[in-house]
Amino acid sequence: MKNLMYRLDVKGSPYLYIVPFFLLFAAFGIFPLAYTAWVSLHEWSLLSETHTFLGLQNYRELFADEYFWNALRNTAQIWVLSTVPQLLMALLLAHVLNQRLRAPTFWRMTAVLPNITSVAAVAIIFAQIFGKDYGLVNWILETLGLGRIDWQAGTASSQIAISVMIIWRWTGYNALIYLAAMQAVSKDLYDAASLDGASSFQQLTRITVPAIRPTIIFTVIISTIGGMQVLAEPLLFGGGSMTGGSDRQFQTLSLYLYEVAFSRFDFGYASTAAWAMFGIIVIVAAINYFLTSRLRRS
């Protein structure tokens, strides 16, 4: 009898732990997603009553849509420009915050400040920083004799500016995630390293990074997903323009989707774009996973 209970506990109880999550998730997470998958097979304007079934027509159209590919390219570029520095800086910041600081709570609070600042304030301030005629960055460039840049007009310049906004907003967020993981690393390791005369930076690269590698991989996956869905920053940078610049030079995938859904009200095609995005992220994540796990083994 006791044996049976034990077996039931081991085999059955895991499901009890995940059931609450999946029940709620099915209703409020999966259902809307599945519904948009269905919508993506239709000609479906948000305001019209008739929805014509199209099969895969929307998908064929999407794959021939140069603005979709343009948005994908922009998204990938902005992702690289923003994610790599962001995660490196977050790691450094977490390492510093993990030391025995005076007023540790205060310093950790400052790390989350960018994330709780309202996006309206962020938009206004970055518009001023990257202004063409009276912006702060151009003022510095001009003082250094480098000349002004029309940040919005250029492809590279606009994407750099957007990446700066992303890095600013999300570095502290990732630092906190790293910080939590660093707590699980034994202090003995640092003690031993200190005795051996390892510098703080060596401790970071030789002890911390290997120990929290799964968390680093986690943040890479999370920021890949987040990076593919960047919407607020390019929307705000363009002053609310949904096309992301005159030549769509900084229109990301999410912004394109947003344009289709909420400017053109074409719910069907927008859903198609959403699911195509999903497919692409899966492929990217798979490659990512493949590479990082190869790295782990080597």
Partner 1 sequence: MRPALNGGSLRRRAVTVAVPLLAAALVMTTAACGGSDDPAKPGEKVKLTIATFGEFGYKDLYKEYMAANPNVEIVERITKAEDHHKNLAAHLATNTGAADIEAIEEGWAGQFTANPGKFYNWNDYGAAEIKAQWPAWKWQQGSSAKGEVVGLGTDVGGMAMCYRRDIFEKAGLPTDREAVSKLWPTWEEYIATGVKFKNANIKGSAWMDGPTIMYRSVLGQQPVGIYDADKVVVETNPGVKKAWDLTIDAINKGLSAKIAPWSADWNAGMAKGSFVTLACPSWMMAYIQSQAKDSSGKWDIAAVPGGGGNWGGSFLTLPKQGKNVQEAAKLAKWLVAPEQQAKVFRALGNFPSTVSLYEESVIKDFKNPFFNNAPVGQIFSNSVKTMVPQYMGPKSGDINTAIQNGLTRVEQGKQKADEAWTQSVKDVNALL
Partner 2 sequence: MTVTMTRPKGDAEAVAPTPPSRRYKGFVERRPGKLTYLALTGLALFSAFPLYWSFVVGSHDNGVLGEVPPPLGLGPNLFANVERAFGTIDFAKALANSFMVSGAITISVVLFSTLAGFAFAKLAFRGRNALLVMVIATMMVPTQLGIIPLYMLMAKIEWTGTMYAVVAPGLVSAFGVFFMTQYLGEAVPTELIEAARADGCTTLRIFWHVVLPVSKPAAAVLGMLTFMTAWNDFFWPLVVLTPEDPTVQVALSALASGYITDFSLSLTGTIIATVPLLVVFVALGKHIIGGIMQGAIKG
Which residues of this chain interact with partner 1, rule CB under 8 A? 20, 23-24, 27, 46-49, 65, 67, 124, 127-128, 131-135, 150, 152-153, 239-243, 245-248, 262-265, 267
Q: Residue 113's binding partner, choosing from partner 2, partner 1, none, with beta-carbon cut-off 5 to 8 A by kind?
A: partner 2
Q: What angle do CA 160, 69, 221 make, to 5 degrees?
A: 65
Which of 56, 109, 153, 156 contacts partner 2 by CB under 8 A?
109
Please report how close the Cβ of residue 20 comes to partner 1 at its closest, in angstroms: 7
Please report how close the Cβ of residue 128 comes to partner 1 at its closest, in angstroms: 5
Encoded tokens for 188: 């003995």
User: Which is nearer to partner 1, 23 or 225 (by Cβ)?
Assistant: 23
Please report how close the Cβ of residue 86 comes to partner 1 at its closest, in angstroms: 25
Nearest to 281 by CA among 231, 233, 226, 242: 226
Q: Where are the beta strands (DSSP E) in the chain?
A: 42-43, 52-53
**Residue 47 vs residues 57, 58, 166, 190: alpha-carbon distances, Å:** 21, 18, 34, 62
**Residue 131 vs residues 113, 114, 127, 138, 144: alpha-carbon distances, Å:** 24, 21, 6, 7, 17
Looking up tokens 């003690």 gives: 191
Query: Residue 271: left (phi > 0), alpha (psi -120 to 50), or beta?
Result: alpha
* Size, binding site for partner 2 by CB under 8 A: 107
Q: Is 47 in the site for partner 2 (CB under 8 A)?
A: no
Encoded tokens for 210: 């290997």
Residues 158-177 that bind partner 2 (CB under 8 A): 168, 172-173, 176-177
User: Which is nearer to partner 1, 68 or 178 (by Cβ)?
Assistant: 68
Gap between the Cα atoms of 119 and 125, Å rounded = 10
Q: How many CB atoms lie within 10 A of CB 201?
A: 10
Encoded tokens for 33: 């997603």
User: Which is nearer to partner 2, 156 or 282 (by Cβ)?
Assistant: 282
Residues 86-105 that bind partner 2 (CB under 8 A): 93, 96, 99-102, 104-105
Which of 7, 9, 63, 73 contacts partner 2 by CB under 8 A?
9
Q: Residue 191's binding partner, choosing from partner 1, partner 2, none, with beta-carbon cut-off 5 to 8 A by kind?
A: partner 2
Q: Is 225 in the site for partner 2 (CB under 8 A)?
A: yes
